[in-house]
Amino acid sequence: MISTFLQRLTSRGMATGIRHIRLLTPTVQAMSTSAASSYSFETIKVTSPLENVYLVELNRPDKLNSMNTTMWREVGVCFNKLAEDGDCRAVVLSGSGRLFTAGLDLSDFGDIVGVVMGDDDIARKARKLKAVIEEFQDSFSAIEKCPKPVIAAVHNACVGGGVDLICSTDIRYCSSDAWFQVKEVDIGLAADVGTLQRLPKIISNESLVRELAFSARKMFSSEAEKCGLVSRVFDNKESLLTGALEMASTIASKSPVAVQNTKTSLVYARDHTVQEGLDYMKILNMSMLQSEDLRIAAMTQMSKSKEKAVYAKL
Ligand SMILES: CC/C=C\C=C\CC(=O)SCCNC(=O)CCNC(=O)[C@H](O)C(C)(C)COP(=O)(O)OP(=O)(O)OC[C@H]1O[C@@H](n2cnc3c(N)ncnc32)[C@H](O)[C@@H]1OP(=O)(O)O
């Protein structure tokens, strides 16, 4: 049945004489690289090392990529922009320097200290803090809402806010020297930027989540792989980045319609019943089954040629 479906799709394409499968030219690759140059941030570096693949690096190596107010804001702005960037089909998120991130910048509580130490009464302070926390939360939620798959590539330390950050990504890889720490209780906080909501759904082990969150103990790479926080462990940072970029490139070679609707459907399914998820898919695919990408993908599958399929930007 599937082969009949593919044949009908492809013969429709052949009949119209459209040739969608062609080799990617250097011009296309050059355009993709320059598209990343429109991303200019103080604490984040964005490049496009491969066709349709963007590399987002936390870039405060001298401060151990700790998250200051600027970085919190820039992560959100960056992923909202990537969501709309037709040149971007997959993202790798890594940290520059000797470790992934030391979490919240403990020397820059700027906005929070300002409110807490201010003269307002408790209700007004609370209202202001609500806005600050919301901004922090929205920043990391932008990663989950971005329809392009995001692969976290963690080396060495991933502390506090770093765990919140990677819990918003789709795929997590790490190097063998990586460790993870839900550190918030050590600074007198209940984690409030996503770890407590997303981690239980990632590792499906409430006992372990609670152990990590109550004790702030370190979890090393082998345990992180065993419990499902990461799906692959690489020997070192270099092989980690190579592996993450290779996977991003594989994803980027697929139909962006298929991949991006798969991501949004998985996020939806995580937070809804099976029936609600099926209903969502039904409505979504009422339109998406009519996409040109189906025919292009089917032609590519049936073709014996090694040429890559070329899909329009999304
Ligand atoms: C609304 C709230 C939203 C979000 C909340 C998030 C909560 C969190 O993120 S909680 C976690 C906060 N982070 C930490 O507690 C990490 C503290 N740091 C460490 O544990 C270690 O520094 C390390 C990351 C494991 C690295 O250790 P090591 O390699 O031995 O380096 P150090 O000598 O300890 O540090 C070098 C240098 O960096 C400074 N530093 C380290 N972490 C931070 C940080 N998070 N913020 C600011 N500065 C940090 C450290 O003080 C050293 O500075 P010197 O001036 O060189 O002494």
- Our answer on whether the CB atom of 100 is closer than 6 Å to any ligand 1 atom is no
Give nearest CA residue, ligand 1 atom 11: 160
Assigned domain for 171 exists:
yes
CATH number of the CATH domain containing 102: 3.90.226.10
In the chain, how many domains are there? 1
In sequence order, what are the residues at sequence separation of 6 or more whose Cβ sits closer than 8 angstroms to the Cβ of residue 229?
Answer: 172, 180, 199, 202, 203, 219
Query: Would the CB of 173 count as within 6 Å of ligand 1?
Result: no
Residue 309: inside a domain: no
pLDDT at 28: 38
Judge if the beta carbon of residue 133 lies within 6 A of ligand 1. yes
| Mean per-residue pLDDT pooled into runs of 10, the chain (314 residues) | 54 43 37 75 98 98 97 97 98 98 91 87 94 95 98 98 98 98 97 97 97 98 98 98 98 97 98 98 95 93 86 95
Q: Is residue 301 part of a domain?
A: no
The pLDDT score that the predictor gives to residue 3 is 54
CA distances (Å), 153 to each of 33, 86, 158, 228, 255, in order?
Answer: 21, 23, 10, 15, 23
Query: With contact defined as beta carbons under 8 Å apart, do 82 and 72 qualify?
Result: no
Q: Would 29 be classed as within a structural domain? A: yes
Nearest-atom number in ligand 1 for the CA of 103 is: 9
Do 15 and 301 contact (CB within 8 A), yes or no?
A: no
Name the residue at shortest CA distance from atom 33 of ligand 1: 64
Q: What is the pLDDT of residue 114?
A: 86
CA distance 258 to 235: 32
Domain for residue 299, yes or no? no
Intra-chain end-to-end CA distance of the chain, in Å: 29
* Residue 266: per-residue pLDDT: 98
Closest C-alpha residue for ligand 1 atom 26:
102
The Cα 150–Cα 141 span in angstroms is 12
pLDDT of residue 6: 52
In a domain, 228, yes or no: yes
Q: Which two tokens stand for residue 65?
A: 């990529």
- What per-residue confidence (pLDDT) applies to 109? 78
Query: Domain range spanning residue 232?
Result: 13-253
Ligand 1 atom 13 nearest Cα: 103
Q: Is position 230 within any domain?
A: yes
Ligand 1 contact, 160 CB (< 6 A)? yes
What is the predicted pLDDT for the residue at 305?
78
Residue 52 lies in a domain: yes
Q: Which protein residue's CA is at the shortest distance from atom 50 of ligand 1?
A: 63
CA distance 281 to 287: 10
Predicted TM-score (pTM) of this structure? 0.91
CB of 223 sitting under 6 A from ligand 1: no
What is the structure's pLDDT at 34?
A: 65
